A = this chain, B = another copy of it.
Amino acid sequence: MLELLDQLKADIINGRLDRGCPLRQQELSKRYGVSRIPIRDAISVLRNQGWLVAHGKAGVMVPELNWKEAEDLYQMRSLLECQLLGYSFPNITYESLGKARDINLRLNACDLSMLERGRLNWELHATLYEVANRPTLFNMVAILNEQVRRYMGFQYGPLQYRNTSQNEHEELLDLLAQGQSDQAIKLLRQHIEVAGQQLVEYLKATS
């Protein structure tokens, strides 16, 4: 089941399931080699998480990428993640900072796809948010980061963004290590909003 979900998500991200045209349960059933029941289960989950949307009264489809949605997703991320980092702050340890630094080093690799970069980026952020001890808020933030992945099936934006993003991560970790919570939160807000703006610009330009 989890495997099927991930396969579907991967195929949605990579555009192997055409956007905008109705998905038929039987076709998916054949395609993934399972009966319609697990397909229906997966569709139910993916609908709830915005990976699929209703198409008429019967049927679902992969939604078109849409700059307004991307803007909202990043705005929500910004608001909620800053709040969450505030909760995390008093509980951040050398261990969690070290773990975050390790992940940031792995983000250095040149041959990472946008998608892999996105996954590592979330791992880094999640490392910081875990210690907040705020399951409900954390869960919502995790869902938002998962949704953002739908927009990461391609390479976008200037290449230098990679380095910018990484430098910001380092700076953020330094601020946290120095106990400058307000500055750190401010930087996080900017970090997310700039990323969102770049994506939105790209989407506006290409559509």
Contacts and interface: CB of A to CB of B under 8 A. Distances in A.
Nearest to A66: B136
A55 to B, nearest CB: 16
Interface in A33-88: 37, 40-41, 44-45, 48-50, 68-69, 72-73, 75-76, 79-80, 83
A169 B156 CA distance: 44
A79 B72 contact: no
B40 A76 contact: no
A76 B44 contact: no
Contacts of A45: 44, 48
Contacts of A73: 136
B83 A137 contact: no
Grouping DSSP codes into helix (H, G, I), strand (E, B) and loop, the A interface class, with mixed when no group exceeds half, is helix
Contacts of A76: 80, 137, 140
A185 to B, nearest CB: 13
A135 B69 contact: yes
Interface residues of A, number: 22
Contacts of A19: none
A134 interface: yes
Nearest to A138: B72
Contacts of A79: 79-80, 83
Contacts of A68: 134-136
Interface in A126-184: 134-137, 140
A137 B41 contact: no
A23 to B, nearest CB: 17
Contact of A48 (B37, B48, B69, B75): B48
